[in-house]
Amino acid sequence: MKNKIIFEKTFLIIFLICYITNAENWTTYMHDNSRSGISAEPVNATELNEIWKYNSAAPPMIAWDGGMPWDAFRSPSAANAVRSTPMRDFDFVNFVTVADGKLYFGSSVDDSVHCLDAGTGAEDWTFTTDGPVRFPPTIHNNKLYFGSDDGNAYCLDANSGTQIWKYTPAIPSRLIANNGKFIPMQPIRTGIAIYDGKAYFASSLVTWKETYLCAVNANTGTEIYKVSGGISPMGALLISSSRIYIPQGRFPPAVFNRSNGSSVGNAGAHGQGGCYALLTSDPTPRFSYGWGIKHTNGYNLYEYNVDTLASISKHLNGRHLIVSNEIAYLLTDTTLSAINRKNNSNIWSVVTDCCYSLILADGILFAGGFNKIIAYDSANGNELNSISVKGTARGLAASAHRLYVSTDNGSIFAYGEAYKPIINNTNELTY
C-alpha cells in the first residue's frame, strides 16, 4: 500500500512537470514584442478552478494616479465636472511572464522581481533593486531582462535570480521624491524587449530632462547605442524588424529606427496619447494605441500604418484590440465585437462589463472586469464561463494550460483544471 502511494505521488509529480513545461510560454508583457495578447496555449474555459493565489503585501504603488485632477484649459467648474481620462495607465497590477514552470513579476511595492513556481505559487527567489519594477521581466535564453525606476536595466539568471549584468544610461547626479521613494530623473518604465540578440529599452521621466533610448548586447550588457531626445517613455515599448515604438502617455507615441535609434517621428496628432499599444498582424500591419485625448473624457484607440504612420482608423470608446487571421476583436466600455478586417463588417457583438483587459488563447477570448473574468468563444461571442476574482482584473496571461490573472489589489491568481489542491502562499490582504 505504501509503495502504491509513493508510486502515485511520483507519477503525479512527473505528470505535473511535463504538463507545465510542455506548453507555450508567455515570455514578455502581452506575450510578444508586438504586444499582441495572443497565445496558442489551450485553456479549458469550462474548468477555470482556482489552483493557487499570491497576495502582495500591498496594492501596487502606481506611477501616475488616474486622470488629471485639474485642467488649466477649463474653467474651475468645468474641470471639476470632467476628470480627464488616465493616459499613463500602465502599472495598476503585477503583470506576469511565464516560462518552463516558473512565473515572474515585478513589484512597485518592494522594488523587486519575484520568481514563483508556476505549478504551486510557492516563491523560489526574489531579487531587489533600488526602485519600483513596473513591468514583468522578459524571458530569453534562460535569462530575465527588466528595468527599474532606479534607472538601471538588469539581466538575471532565470533559475537562480543571480545578476548577470546591470546597465545604466546615465549615472544620476541627484534623486527626486516620487511615489514615496527616491529615484533618478531617468527611470526605466518601458520594460525590455529582446530582438536579434539585443536588448532595447528607454528611460526618462519628463520631456525637459535627458531621455535615453538604448540598445545593448543581450548576453553581456555592452552598449550598442544610446541616443537622447525630448520624449517621455511611459509604457511597454514595441519592436518590429525595422522600428521601435514607444508610448508616451500624454503625448503621441514616438517611433525610431531599430538599427541606430534615429527618430522617425510620432504616430498621431498632438493631444492624442495613452500607454496601451500593439502591432497588428494584418497583411499591411498597423500600429494601434490609446486610450485618451488631453483635456477630455473617454477612451479611444487609433490605428496607423506601421511604415508611413498614416492614420487608418479610430475606434471610439476602444479599450483593447486583438487581431488574428484578419479578424479584429474590439473591446469597448460596454461591448466586445468581432470585425472582419477585409471589409470592416461586423461578425458578432456582445454586451460586456469586462473592459479592463483582453487576451486570446487558442480561440478563447478572456476579458477582465471588476471582480470577475468572462471567457468568450471567438467564433461566435458565446459566453463560455464567468469566474469571480477579488479586485479589477487588469492583467491576463495564458501558459501551461492555465489562465493567470493579476488584479489591482496586488493579487495573482492561477486558474485551470482542478487536478491538485489550492495553495495560498501568503495571508489574505486586509481591505
User: Domains of the chain by range and CATH?
Assistant: 2-424 (2.130.10.10)
Instruction: Give the contacts of 427 (CB within 8 A, at least 6 positions apart).
Output: 55
Q: Which residues of the chain have pLDDT under 50?
A: 1-2, 4-21, 420-422, 426-431
Residue ranges of E strands in 92-152: 96-99, 102-106, 112-117, 123-128, 138-140, 143-147
Q: Is 21 helix (H, G, I), strand (E, B) or coil?
A: helix
List beta partners, residue 123.
116
Concatenating the DSSP letter of every residue in 66-90 gives: SS-S--TTS-HHHHHH-PPPPS---
Q: What is the per-residue pLDDT for 88?
A: 76
Q: Are 246 and 254 in contact (CB under 8 A)?
A: yes
58 backbone dihedrals φ, ψ, rounded to 5°: -160, 160
- 3-state DSSP assignment of residue 124: strand
Which pLDDT does position 355 carry in this prediction? 94
The string of pLDDT tens digits covering residues 22-50 is: 578 999 999 999 999 999 999 999 999 99
Residue type, 16: L
The pLDDT score that the predictor gives to residue 418 is 75
Question: Residue 357: which of 326, 389, 325 has the closest Cα?
Answer: 389
For 269-295, give one letter per residue: b (16+ CB within 10 A) or e. eeebbbbbbbbbbbeeebbbbbbbbbb
* pLDDT on residue 422: 46
The torsion region of residue 181 among left (phi > 0), alpha (psi -120 to 50) and beta comes to: beta
